[in-house]
Structure 1
């Protein structure tokens, strides 16, 4: 079944289309979620929530506003960020084991793997180092612009402006 027809079937409430969408996109969606929450069981929980949102919000998807995969990734990224900002997540993280610290340190070096997992590696490689850092913090680590500003010791206005410029450059490369 062609992707456009599959999406249309999903929007019409077809459960088989939903199962196919899950099969096609769950692995890469899980990868994005996991790169933000850094916990397998929480990532699986968020993944299930994401696919429930996809089912519920499928009629709102508009191909004129972007690709279907991008729409899914935005839902996943937002859900993962919401999860790590939740009070229950923060309370659970107060008693981290030493294994989590190793994972966190390793995560700082896995930016290229996260980028490659969604097929952006060749585009991100072409960006300047400051853009790579901003995209890593804002989109893969789930930092807010304020947190990124503090982490990179950069004024908030500069983070916002550079982020917009970097995303515009990335968008221009992908659309070519």
Structure 2
């Protein structure tokens, strides 16, 4: 039994920022199952849901020092929501998944305030990128091209594409982590 079960979410976040692994594990145990159920209700794929939840918590731990989180439950749920939205957009099962969610289409609307704000931040970060980096990001995230396809089109190596995407995604994470609204939404 964890010694952190009686701690509030706020206390856990403060301890996590100090690299307290046991506090992070308590936060994980507090929210992971509910997040998994939420994801499974949408994707209906155990492995994909488990991967999504794992990815969110790994990112959370890796960025623990810079996160400004007041409500970790809402933060994690919204992070999962965006992760699932990205998965659905790139999925071959997109039509099937969206059809099964017909009763709750608001989960995937592109005109929600959160999505608009997220797009604004992404646009600002991409606008500040060098032309080639912005082009690579566009081909990857908007046209859903593979690294191989991007490399062939631009006449560069796949490794260069991977490196550029890593840099761009890191910049996006930093920008999103610093945004005040992000901490209240997520």
The alignment's TM-score, normalised by the length of structure 1, stands at 0.51
Aligned with 2:79 (options 75, 82, 105): 75
Deviations 1:126-166 (A, max 9, x none): xxxxxxxxxx3122xx3434xxxxxxxxxxxxxx69xx9xx
User: Gaps (5+ residues) in structure 2?
Assistant: 117-186
Q: Distance in 1 between matches of 2:68 and 2:75?
A: 9
Name the residue aligned to 2:106. 138
Instruction: Select the structure with the greater relative contact order (CA < 8 A; seq sep ≥ 6).
Output: 2
The match for 2:154 is none
TM-score by length of structure 2 reads 0.49
Q: Is the aligned partner of 1:13 residue 2:13?
A: no
Pair 1:74–1:10, CA change in 2 (3 A): same
Partners of 2:48 and 2:39 in 1: how far apart? 9
- Structure 1 gaps, min length 5: 110-135, 146-159, 165-176
Q: Out of 46, 52, 57, which is 1:40 matched to?
A: 46
Do the aligned partners of residues 60 and 37 (structure 1) sit closer, same or farther apart at CA in structure 2, a change above 3 Å counting? farther
Divergent runs of 4+, >3 A: none
RMSD: 3.1
Which residue is 1:126 aligned to? none
Structure-2 separation of matches of 1:22 and 1:33: 15
Pick the structure with more helix per residue.
1
What's 1:157 paired with? none
For these two proteins, the number of residue pairs brought into alignment is: 109
5 Å matches for 1:75-114?
Answer: 75-86=79-90, 89-90=91-92, 93=93, 105=100, 107-108=101-102
Which of 21, 26, 29 is the equivalent residue of 1:23? 29
Specify the SS of the correspondent of 2:42. Answer: helix
Distance 2:34 2:68 in 1: 21
